[in-house]
Amino acid sequence: MHTFKKIYHFYVDGFRNLSPWARTLWVIILVKLFIMFAVLRLFFFRDTLKNRYATDEERANHVIEELIGQ
């Protein structure tokens, strides 16, 4: 447990000592990741299996058929 604490403090101290432009860069990166994984998922990666099939068994059978290629 002591090792994890040292690693945590290493990163916290590193982020505290960042220059202002580096902090701005990290904010841009985090906003971009949020957009990629949260917003785009809502619009482009809809849950089609849940819409097409009513039960988990039907969904599983469809996935198995697609993997096997029958």
Give me the percent of the chain exceeding a pLDDT of 90.
46
**What pTM, to 2 d.p., does this model score?**
0.52
The arithmetic mean of pLDDT across residues 60-70, rounded, is 87
Structure tokens at 4: 């994890």
Q: How confident is the model at residue 70 (pLDDT cuts 50, 70, 90)?
A: low
* pLDDT score recorded for residue 49: 82
Q: What residue type is assigned to position 9 of the chain?
A: H
Backbone φ, ψ for residue 55 (5° rounding)? -115, 165
* pLDDT tens for each residue of 46-58: 777 888 888 999 9
Secondary structure (DSSP) of the chain? -HHHHHHHHHHHHHHHT--HHHHHHHHHHHHHHHIIIIIHHHHHS--HHHHH-SSHHHHHHHHHHHHHT-
